[in-house]
Amino acid sequence: MLDILNLNPGSFGLDISDLSLKLVRLKKRREGFYVSAINQLRLPAGLLHKGEVIKTAVLGEYIKKLIDKTEGLGTRQVSVCLPEEKSFLRVIQMPKMSSRELKRAVRYEAENYIPFSLDKVYLDSQVITEKSDDQAHVLVVAIPRKIVDPYVKAIEIAGLIPLSMEIESQAAARALTKGKKSDQPVYLIDLGATCTGFSVFYGNYLRFSSFIPVSSENFTLAVAKKLRKDREEAEALKKIHGFQNKGKIGKAIYKALEPKVKELAEELNKHIDYYENHFTDQNFKKAKGIQRAFFYGGGAELAGLPEYLSKKLHIKVEKGNPLINLVPSSKEAFGKSNKKISAFTVAIGLALREFKHD
Three-state helix/strand/coil letters over 182-201: EEEEEEEEEECCCCEEEEEE
> Which residues are paired to 208 by β-bridges?
200
Q: What are the extents of the domains in the chain?
A: 88-143, 178-323
Task: Determine which of 21-30, 114-123, 341-350 has the lowest per-residue pLDDT on average.
Answer: 114-123
Distances (CA, A) of 113 to 104, 108, 110, 259, 332: 16, 10, 5, 34, 45
What is the average per-residue pLDDT within 182-198?
Answer: 86
Q: What is the mean pLDDT of the chain?
A: 87
Class for domain 178-323, per CATH?
alpha beta
Report residue 321's pLDDT band, with 50, 70 and 90 as the boundaries. Answer: very high
Q: What is d(CA 216, CA 261) in angstroms, rounded to the nearest whole number?
A: 10
Tallying the residues shown for the chain, one arrives at 358
What predicted TM-score, i.e. pTM, was given to this entire model? 0.88
Report whether pLDDT(134) > 80.
Answer: no
pLDDT of 289: 55
Higher pLDDT among residues 57 and 6, named by residue: 57
What is the average per-residue pLDDT within 51-62?
Answer: 97
Report residue 8's pLDDT band, with 50, 70 and 90 as the boundaries. Answer: low
What is the average per-residue pLDDT within 99-111?
Answer: 82
CA 186 to centroid of chain Cα atoms:
14
- Map residue 48 onto helix, strand or coil: strand
What is the average per-residue pLDDT within 190-207?
Answer: 86
Distances (CA, A) of 208 to 56, 79, 237, 275, 292: 30, 22, 35, 8, 16
Report whether pLDDT(4) > 50.
Answer: no
Burial of 259-274, coded b for 16+ CB within 10 Å and e otherwise, reads ebbeebbebbeebbee
φ and ψ of 117, to 5 deg = -70, 130
Report whether pLDDT(222) > 60.
Answer: yes
Class for domain 88-143, per CATH?
alpha beta
Report residue 37's pLDDT band, with 50, 70 and 90 as the boundaries. Answer: very high
Per the CB < 8 A criterion, the answer to whether 24 and 36 are in contact is no
What is the average per-residue pLDDT within 61-86?
Answer: 94
C-beta neighbour count of 140 within 10 angstroms: 20
Report whether pLDDT(156) > 80.
Answer: yes
User: What is the percent of the chain with per-residue pLDDT over 90, rounded to a whole number?
Assistant: 53
Task: Determine which of 139-148, 162-171, 193-202, 321-330 has the lowest per-residue pLDDT on average.
Answer: 193-202
What dihedral do alpha carbons 258, 261, 267, 269 form, nearest 10°?
-90
Higher pLDDT among residues 6 and 160, named by residue: 160
pLDDT of 272: 87
What is the average per-residue pLDDT within 128-133?
Answer: 64
User: What is the percent of the chain with per-residue pLDDT over 70, rounded to a whole number?
Assistant: 91
pLDDT of 1: 36
pLDDT of 12: 96
Could you give the count of Cα atoms lying within 13 Å of 194 in the half-sphere of its Cβ?
16
Report residue 32's pLDDT band, with 50, 70 and 90 as the boundaries. Answer: very high
Distances (CA, A) of 78 to 141, 162, 168, 206: 20, 5, 15, 22
Q: What is d(CA 267, CA 253) in angstroms, rounded to the nearest whole number?
A: 21
**DSSP designation for 230:** -
What is the average per-residue pLDDT within 255-273?
Answer: 93
Higher pLDDT among residues 328 and 116, named by residue: 328
Report whether pLDDT(304) > 60.
Answer: yes
Report whether pLDDT(2) > 80.
Answer: no
Report residue 336's pLDDT band, with 50, 70 and 90 as the boundaries. Answer: low
pLDDT of 133: 64
Instruction: State the greatest distance between any 2 C-alpha atoms of the chain, in Å, as a whole number.
Output: 65
